[in-house]
Structure 1
Amino acid sequence: MTVSAHDVRNALLARDEIALIDLREEAAFAGGHPLFAAQIPLRRLELEAPWRLPRRTAPVVVYDAGEGLVEPAIERLGALGYTEVRALHGGLDGWRAAGFELFEDVNSYSKAFGELVEHHRHTPSLPAPDVQALIEEKADIAILDARRFEEYATMSIPGGVSVPGAELVLRAREVAPDPDTTIIVNCAGRTRSIIGAQSLVNAGVPNRVFALRNGTIGWTLAGQALETGQARRAAEPDADLLDDARVRARAVSYRAGVRHIAWDELTYLRSQSARTLYQYDVRLPEVYAAGHLPGFRNAQGGQLVQETDHNAPVRGARIVLSDDLGPRADMTASWLAQLGWEVLVLDWPDHVALETGPDGAPPARGPEGRYKRPYEGTDNAAVAMQAYLDWEYGLVEQLRRDGTHGFTVI
């Protein structure tokens, strides 16, 4: 049985639950796909589908580009217990023939949202040569790297400190306690720099805040040297700074319409079998492994915003976040709410016994079929990096043409 591209679009506009799954390898997916499509290659369907599509009765629509992947996928998903699986009529060509937009790259809607945030909020930024000049004159600045620690360790801006995205409001003032210190937030490209800097602006930290324009890509294109193998991490805040971060982050989440719930209210949400529920602990992996609430999987908050399509492929689902300190969940939730999700924050319950260890996610993918990201590593061609930036600059207009996003910017 098939569904039309118009049926899928209507479900997205109505905010009905739907998972639109691209069965091709990631490199092919990155060449073009619908905005809210998520990618699960056929060869990993049995591994990833039960984890990423937790409700077996959620509507799932699968497609390819004529490679013959759809029929075996429907058969395999049926064997896994999925009961509402359909094929996209005409596959990717059917979507294109309907006149709908195709987006390139991976994590496309999160990246498009970042561009929309900058467009509406005019997030302040500095180009790489200006930041290099500040470093050379030993200006009072703090460079905070909003990527995962592993990415930071691979390559980083000289003097930068690792503060992954959701940690920024929690830890930034521990790194820069003097309000006269200028904070510069970087990532590899644009999105996490923009979202990170705007997080601090939204939270009203007293420091001047800028994004490093175009991240390490812009730094490299400017002919400036990166550091490698660094291990500087932001410390946890003292009690006063923690209280301040809690107040600031809670105010941001409130403005974004995020609701807070208690453990017994979560129990009720878990009982609702007609809705997909994702439950994420947004702390650092080592903190999660040391003790987390039962039923919560781990995704660092900044990555949950950056890779929402991977972590929550069922558009229209509910998301509940947890964080023992609070600010990481509140800031992450504020962005997910702006991305159009129904998102709630669990007030951490002291009476619930914690579990330890990893969350049981499927093993990471290997290099097979992987899209070579022009912002990862240190061996990317300048033409590929510039092309990637040019693509990002055009995303706001492409969102307008597509018309399904439903994003808001507070």
Structure 2
Amino acid sequence: MAKSITARELRKYWINQDEVALLDVREEGPYSESHPLWALSVPVSEIETKLPPLVPRLSAPIVVYDDGEKYADRAAARILALGYRNVFILEGGLSAYSLVGEVYRDVNVPSKAFGELVESITHTPSWSAREVKNVLESESDVVVLDARRFTEYNTMSIPRGRSCPGGELLYRVFQAAPSPETTVIVNCAGRTRSIVGTQSLINSGIPNKVYALRNGTIGWTLEGLDLETKKTERVPAPSVDAARKAQLHAEKWASHAGVSVIDDVQLIRFAEESEDRSLYLLDVRDPDEFAAGHPAGFSNAPGGQLVQATDEWVGVRGARIVLYDADGVRARMTASWLLQLGWEVYIFGTVVPAGLKSPATPSWQPPQTGAITVDDLQKLKGAVVVDLARSPVYRKGHIPGAWFASGPELSRDLKTVTGDGPIVLTSPDGDVAAINREEARASTMREILYLSGGTAAWVTAGLPLETEEHRLSEPIDVYKRPYEGTSNARKDMQGYLDWEYGLVAQLANDGVSGFHVIRGV
């Protein structure tokens, strides 16, 4: 049975650096409007699929809250059913928390707030969009490194930009700019990855002049400058000589920052203690390298994204993190930032010992009944398909006639479905549909089924999708990020920048971040 906890008691976990995971079990839209600093977005309808990798230890303390929607009790019951043993409900929910602690807008807030703190303390050098444009037009010995994920770079980029995700910057910079006279400009879509990427190169002591593009592609757009699209140019992997230079710089900075390197004996000990202390094993290399081969037990978390969005991989504040690479550069630089973000982090770069112990993990099994195949669905008479995909995925294509529904409000909104035939739940791979079948059955007398394999199975069968929308629920499940894509309103982009500028003051008033910015050598 879930216990209760007050907001003040919760905050003591962070202040004392004890382990705890805080889950906002609403949809991402409301979450992005207001939440505590260390809250994770885990909608109640996606707990079984989303929570286990974020919180791998069954005895880790987990706190859930909503803002009066009555999701918290349902969420706690589902978390307990997975095998978690230490579950709390936040008394008074978000409203009560807001009386004693700061609440924040947007997503990935800890990393973004930290980036603003870094700039305010280190005075990371930056150029405005106009200054960068003038330099690019007047000088040839300049390289532009886009520190975002390749897919973001491919969507839109500034002129002469090349993809070099943040965790790869030092590893590849000597390949991109072999001359110490070359000026290096680092950009992202907004501010954080530009600031952290630029400061990474400065901290490492490379001889080049390095500048951030102030306010990223948002700043570029607000200045009325044109972005390029569909670019595919990447900075290649470094030569032996370039990699060695990067390694020397990484080692010097990591030593100054106090990054700890562990051997296989210490890794074995951490694994043996993982029933009592949450442990995350993360390979910070490029996804293609990870896919080509990686140590058993390690998950891929590309270094730049891990710093930018730590909460997408690590859900338990106060946990241990061990990072792996094969080059001695990317893990060191990533670890140096996680250390400043207040994490207990180590790097490991040798062969992972065989038989490394794994803790008991949360488990979920699909329902034994209620599954139907694509063939079954086509033969059903009077069936209504209800799609639990995220709304952007639904808009791109769904089973013809399928209705979009919000997972947390599925029970409420199923009551508006007309007819008396069976209701068939689907989702991209069928898992979210399966895990919500029982809750749906409790809300209606109609037969509730789910599509095995989900919409992907429909596509595999060679059947068409449609894009015309049919809604049972309002699409509040996804926050529209004003720094992604090319169709953002000017006021939203400027509002986002204004919000970021105020984060340092919020951190100071809140007092639970545990951040500490390390100054250069």
TM range (shorter): over 0.9
AA aligned opposite 2:338? L
Alignment partners' CA distance in 2, 1:352 and 1:81: 27
Measured after TM superposition, the shift of residue 22 of structure 1 is 0.5
Please report the RMSD computed on the Cα atoms of aligned residues, expressed in angstroms: 1.5
TM value normalised by structure 1: 0.95
Specify the SS of the correspondent of 1:166.
Answer: helix
Instruction: State the partner residue of 1:60.
Output: 62
Partner in structure 2 of residue 308 of structure 1: 310
The Cα of 1:212 is off from its aligned counterpart by: 0.3
2:497 equivalent to 1:389: yes
Q: Retained in 2: the 8 A contact 1:18–1:61?
A: yes
- Which amino acid counterpart does residue 214 of structure 2 have in structure 1? R
State the distance in 2 between where 1:217 and 1:399 align: 24
Check the 8 A contact 1:4/1:89 in 2, yes or no.
yes
After superposition, give the CA deviation of every residue in 1:305-345 in whole Å (9 maximum; x if it has no partner): 01111211100000000001120100000000000000000
Q: Which stretch of the first structure deviates more once superposed, 56-65 or 231-240?
A: 231-240
Q: TM-score, normalised by structure 2?
A: 0.75
Alpha-carbon contact 2:278-2:320 (below 8 Å) kept: yes
What does residue 516 of structure 2 align with?
A: 408
CA distance in 2, matches of 1:105, 1:398: 14
Q: Does the 8 A contact of 1:144 with 1:163 survive in 2?
A: yes
Native 8 Å contact 1:262 1:349 kept in 2: no
CA distance in 2, matches of 1:117, 1:244: 25
Matched, 1:178 2:179: yes
Residue 399 of structure 1 corresponds to 507
Q: Which residue is equivalent to 1:193?
A: 194
Partner of 2:484: 376
**Aligned equivalents of 2:99, 2:183: Cα separation in 1:** 50
> Secondary structure at the residue paired with 2:228?
coil
Unaligned runs of 5+ in 2: 356-363, 365-388, 393-474
For 1:325, the equivalent position in structure 2 comes to: 327
SS class of match (1:270): helix
| 1:110-125 → structure 2 map (5 Å cutoff) | 110-125=111-126
Structure 2 residue identity aligned to 1:113 = F
Q: Give 1:182's aligned amino acid.
A: T
Quote the Cα distance in structure 2 between the aligned partners of 1:400 and 1:388: 20
* TM-superposed deviation, 1:240: 1.6
Letter in 1 for 2:154: A
- Following superposition, the deviation at residue 352 of structure 1 comes to 6.4
Task: Show the counterpart of 1:131.
Answer: 132
Deviations 1:225-257 (A, max 9, x none): 011000111111111221111111122222222
> What displacement does 1:222 show?
0.4
- The answer on whether the counterparts of 1:293 and 1:352 sit within 8 Å (CA) in structure 2 is no
1:181 Cα deviation after fit? 0.8
- Matched with 2:432 is none
SS of aligned partner of 2:158? coil
Across the two proteins, how many residue pairs are aligned to each other? 400
Separation in structure 2 between the aligned mates of residue 254 and residue 344 of structure 1, nearest angstrom: 12
Partner of 1:254: 255
Match of 1:151 in 2: 152
Identity %: 52
After superposing the two structures, state which structure 1 stretch, 270-279 or 241-250, moved more. 241-250
Q: How far off its partner does 1:351 sit?
A: 7.6
Looking at structure 2, the residues matched to 317 and 366 of structure 1 have their Cα atoms a distance apart, in angstroms, of 33
Answer yes or no: is the 8 Å Cα contact 2:108–2:308 preserved in 1.
yes
State how 1:35-46 maps to structure 2 within 5 Å. Answer: 35-46=37-48
Name the SS for the 2:33 alignment partner.
coil
SS at match of 1:269: helix
- TM-superposed CA distance for 1:27, in Å, is 1.0
Q: CA deviation at 1:139?
A: 3.5
Residues 8-407 of structure 1: pairs in structure 2 closer than 5 A: 8-98=10-100, 100-272=101-273, 273-349=275-351, 367=392, 369-407=477-515
Check whether the contact 2:283–2:302 (CA below 8 A) recurs between aligned residues. yes
SS class of match (1:302): helix
Bigger relative CO (Cα 8 Å, ≥ 6 apart): 1
CA contact (8 A) 2:264 2:352 kept: no
Q: Name the SS for the 1:30 alignment partner.
A: helix
Rg (Cα) greater in structure = 2
Distance (Å, rounded) in 1 between the aligned partners of 2:17 and 2:36: 16
In structure 2, how many angstroms separate the alpha carbons of the residues matched to 1:305 and 1:351? 27
- Per the alignment, in what secondary structure is the counterpart of residue 88 of structure 2? strand
Separation of aligned partners in 2, 1:351 and 1:117? 37
CA contact (8 A) 1:114 1:194 kept: yes
Please, which moves more after superposition, 24-33 or 365-374?
365-374
Deviation string 1:347-382 (CA, Å, 9 cap, x unpaired) is 2228869xxxxxxxx9x9663511000000000000
**Unaligned 5+ runs, structure 1:** 354-361
